Structure 1
Amino acid sequence: MAKIRSEVLSPFRSVRMFFYLAFMASGALGGLIALTQLLPALANPARAVGAAETLKGLGIDVGAVSLFAFLYSRESKAKDAQVARLAREERLSRLKLRVGAGDGESGGGRPFQLSELRGTARLVIVAGPAEFVAESFRRSQPFLRELAERAVLAVPFATDGNTLELRFDEGEREEKDGDDKDDIVAKKSRRLWQLTPVYTAEWAQWLDDQKKLAGVPPDSPVYLSLRMDGRVRGSGVGYPPWQAFVAQLPPVKGMWSGLFDGMDGRVL
């Protein structure tokens, strides 16, 4: 599946690689012919007429083969890197969540794959010790309303195995009477931190692999932000930049809903 997605995202890469191979073969054939003409001339000075031109042609062929071999190698490495990234994204999409608290395989809501949130939410995975996750939660509170308008949902993952207790301030709990829009947004903002990872060993393995590839120490607290299409748009060591998310991401509401789903920034 990752290879198929790679072909879709870079449809002309295979064509370029084919032509690079063809040019390499053509240059190698020309070089071989020039070499067969040059060797007798070097062995017999009487046949040295035109040896300079033959040598020049051989140099051009060798240079062409070297150039196209470099271009082919670069394309091949880019393809391998893209396939590896897409494979990691597929593994991420198969990781499971549930809505509400729950440990292990019991408690909370029905487990579902992360891929089921594609097109509806921008996830921010917050992984680290429970104290780090709790502080990330506290730092997000001034921006809960704006984050909710941008369909941002947090996935808190305590890597030290401690239980998380994420409590909103009493002021955030108060609700006005009536069905105005502020009440609806307030309710959505309180749901921002209600996702819980399921099968935490698989989550831990995926995060460890990501850290190794990024050269990040295994015990470092990190965050990863996903685009609405489920692809990774940003990551870093330390607390998530909630204010930056609010500034960078367009709201998902009204006539703009769905229009900017693919405009969440470049993919890492």
Structure 2
Amino acid sequence: MPPKLPRVLADLGAVSLFAFLYLRENKAKDAQIARLSREENLSNLKLRVSEKKVIPLSSLRGIAQLVICAGPASFITESFNRSEPFTEGLVERGVLVVPLATDGNVPSFEFEESEEAKDITAKRKGLWRLTPIYVTEWTNWLDEQKKLAGVTSDSPVRVGYPPWNAFVAQLPPVKGIWSGLLDGFDGRV
């Protein structure tokens, strides 16, 4: 009987190893499915782009870099104010901000209307023009993110204001919608 003991131990070791690897792979697969589900839920959320146009978030895929700025209206207003020095760089990088007020108040965006600031004001309005539609769905999505991050529903997902300078430093500038494959077909080289 003793010669069979090493073989049984080896078999038990192999079964244990395969069970461990299977469970680890299954956990990774479940995490991937959960991430894809969250992304799908996010892509179905609606945004108001203009007075008459509402789009799903997914329609901006590949066109814009979205920053969801969620918190009380005062936090969003301060984030808006802090973004001003970086407006040019953010616009060059295709950044659009989705202000999601979690306290039910409307953030205050004050744009300078002087003739000298006309260009930068237009860019700032474009940067902050998106409005979440069906705020309850947005809030549910945000609460799901907090739950997955292991934070309480009354705490912020991220502490602090958006790092506008880091976005400008790390995101590459975007090219026009017709650049890339069709370069040169417009008569320019």
TM category (shorter chain) comes to 0.7 to 0.9
1:57-84 CA distance string (max 9 Å, x none):
1100100010111011000000001101
Cross-structure match for 2:174: 252
TM, length-normalised to structure 1: 0.62
Cα RMSD (Å) of the superposition? 2.2
Q: Are positions 1:203 and 2:155 aligned together?
A: no
Alignment coverage as a number of residue pairs: 180
Q: Which runs of 5+ in 1 are unaligned?
A: 1-50, 101-107, 176-182, 223-235, 260-268
Cross-structure match for 1:114: 57
| Structure with a larger share of its residues in helix | 1
Give the partner amino acid of 1:131: S
Q: Are positions 1:97 and 2:47 aligned together?
A: yes
On the 8 A contact 2:111/2:121 being kept in 1, the answer is no
Q: Are positions 1:143 and 2:143 aligned together?
A: no
1:208-253 CA distance string (max 9 Å, x none):
111111122222334xxxxxxxxxxxxx332111111111110002
Larger radius of gyration: 1
The alpha-carbon deviation at position 164 of structure 1 amounts to: 1.9
The structure 1 residue matched to 2:164, chosen from 237, 242, 245, is 242
Q: Secondary structure at the match of 1:191?
A: helix
Identity of aligned residues (%): 63
Q: Which runs of 5+ in 2 are unaligned?
A: 182-189
> Once superposed, which parts of structure 1, at least 4 consecutive aligned residues long, lie more than 4 Å away?
170-173
Q: 1:144 to 1:157 in 2, by over 3 A?
A: same
1:8-33 CA distance string (max 9 Å, x none):
xxxxxxxxxxxxxxxxxxxxxxxxxx
State the alpha-carbon separation in 1 of the partners of residues 115 and 22 from structure 2.
Answer: 57
Superposition pairs for residues 68-107 of structure 1, below 5 Å? 68-100=18-50
Q: Are positions 1:193 and 2:128 aligned together?
A: yes
